[in-house]
Structure 1
């Protein structure tokens, strides 16, 4: 028999009461982690979580019966949004618009747990300006055959390239096999410009580490290299937030870490069970994130130079309309015609 609903007092600007139904529901069966456990985790990491998702449109990755059951993404806010929560209108690549949830308080994140949300996926924009990102994000995605140590090597190289561009880089584990590298930026460039800056940075890294890193969009061209996923910079493409758990058996967490701690780091040590204690002991590695805001001028000059040298647009995600200057959306091994004929 399922346990009765409980009510949690969630601290914040105002103490909120959040009702949690089925608190004993197993979300991670292997680790015996329940919905109530996830709610308590969310409260414990609340300050760092708000730094990552606060004042941003958020997509909810939901698992009504736990990680072994149905999964879906909620872009429209679920029914029953509490009165203290708010939404913001977002425009998607198709041109349509609808509201998305904004998390301003830990209580709203706990309410998302009530809706069986495991992972929060924030946009790289603030709710007051949903068209100009204030966050640059780069996903380092290792292909089969690469180790986490290889990803660390690529991340350190990426940090140096970003420093050359005048950007202060911050790193977190992905909660899986990769690393995510971030930088705060002034919200003065729209998504396409930010994407071009990311592509230029990725190409610089690829030139510096040609045997380790690739910008090849098609998997068949990546080999065993680490893919620098420039398409995460597009509108309506999101990355699991810092401190968000992932839907994998051991309940791993996407964890901010200090650059000095990357060497020898084991990302598997960061889980829903362990992160609150680690955070309490070591503090938030991203505590000063908002104090370092950069600009994209240098990276955009790199893009311009690449364009003048014949390097143009890269492929967009499949859900996007065909974009100006984009190469054919066909796998290279299946291409039978010249680019201009597609």
Structure 2
């Protein structure tokens, strides 16, 4: 017996493509009854804005064998049998090894990824033609237990002002969960470690202005009920859900770009696979001008050097990273005290 399948027509810069969708009636979000075909149609509907935000970059695919409550895995390499409009680029990982990684160049490529059971898309902050030098500065505002989206909003507004003082234009989107993602387009003339240091410098400046509300503390036991400014998302091969990417949560949320003007009144639960296509049609894409006037991180690196001279050094790296120069010990502060 033939397996269930269908095709959808996906418009794009190279004309329309027919993309096959197998098991189109498979339920991905059980609470809402959203199917794999529904997700493919969503990605096609938002395809132009999706590719503008995430295309032309190495991307990791978060794939699910069943629904959003089931098993998942990350896929980085192009699988055998991929269509001719799917390409890859060789990237270098923190370990020093290199390997091809997927690049999505048109909406049909993103729909094909849905056919491969992708739900969440994680693009790099650098482009395929210059993978070592990010052209985006990203800061993940992550509310800790006892805080939520309402606490992330004022932190994001202060961060916007800090970045403006450093000569950068900030854009914002919901994370698709409780937090916010702040981006700034930058010229790709600095490597990942420099951009990480720029993010730390910006985070420390926000922390100085909101010491009771935000933190750059890496260890959870030191964060308290504050919003964590996650600087480590600026590292090589560390990614966050891209703009217009769905999230694997029960209400099918989307990481959705918003304007700074509407941010104070935003409810992130309003942005879902079912609602965002209509929002794009009626409101437009708040990130349509992203990248037209990239800045540089020179001022932020001057702040980094200033903080170094005042005794504020390197911060911990993710646990999968090799030991980095100047990095403090990777041991929980409470454990370190017990060992002492």
Q: TM-score range by the shorter chain?
A: over 0.9
Aligned to 1:130: 131
Aligned to 1:295: 296
Residues 10, 16 of structure 1: 8 Å contact kept: yes
Residues 172, 182 of structure 2: 8 Å contact kept: yes
Aligned to 1:279: 280
After TM superposition, the structure 1 = structure 2 runs for residues 64-103 of structure 1, keeping only pairs within 5 Å, are 64-103=65-104
Q: Give me the whole-angstrom Cα distance separating, in 2, the residues matched to 1:337 and 1:314.
A: 21
Q: Give me the whole-angstrom Cα distance separating, in 2, the residues matched to 1:58 and 1:15.
A: 23
Structure 2 residue ranges without an equivalent (≥5): none
TM-score normalised by length of structure 1: 0.97
Task: Determine whether 1:304 maps to 2:305.
Answer: yes
Shift of 1:147: 2.9
Q: Helix, strand or coil: the match of 1:124?
A: coil
After TM superposition, the structure 1 = structure 2 runs for residues 241-252 of structure 1, keeping only pairs within 5 Å, are 241-252=242-253
Residues 2, 22 of structure 1: 8 Å contact kept: no
Residues 241, 254 of structure 1: 8 Å contact kept: yes
Aligned to 2:4: 4
Q: Helix, strand or coil: the match of 1:335?
A: helix
Deviations 1:121-142 (A, max 9, x none): 0000110111000001000000
Q: How many matched pairs?
A: 339
Aligned to 2:315: 314
Q: Helix, strand or coil: the match of 2:264?
A: coil
User: Which deviates further from its counterpart, 76-85 or 127-136?
Assistant: 76-85
After TM superposition, the structure 1 = structure 2 runs for residues 54-69 of structure 1, keeping only pairs within 5 Å, are 54-69=55-70
Q: Give me the whole-angstrom Cα distance separating, in 2, the residues matched to 1:148 and 1:236.
A: 26
Residues 252, 272 of structure 1: 8 Å contact kept: yes
Shift of 1:16: 1.3
Residues 3, 23 of structure 1: 8 Å contact kept: no
After TM superposition, the structure 1 = structure 2 runs for residues 232-247 of structure 1, keeping only pairs within 5 Å, are 232-247=233-248
TM-score normalised by length of structure 2: 0.97
Q: Give me the whole-angstrom Cα distance separating, in 2, the residues matched to 1:282 and 1:2.
A: 42
Shift of 1:210: 0.4
Shift of 1:337: 8.5
Q: Give me the whole-angstrom Cα distance separating, in 1, the residues matched to 2:259 and 2:24.
A: 34
Q: Give me the whole-angstrom Cα distance separating, in 1, the residues matched to 2:308 and 2:338.
A: 23
Q: Give me the whole-angstrom Cα distance separating, in 1, the residues matched to 2:247 and 2:190.
A: 31
Q: Give me the whole-angstrom Cα distance separating, in 2, the residues matched to 1:287 and 1:295.
A: 20
Residues 92, 98 of structure 2: 8 Å contact kept: yes
Shift of 1:77: 2.0
User: Which deviates further from its counterpart, 72-81 or 271-280?
Assistant: 72-81
Aligned to 2:195: 194
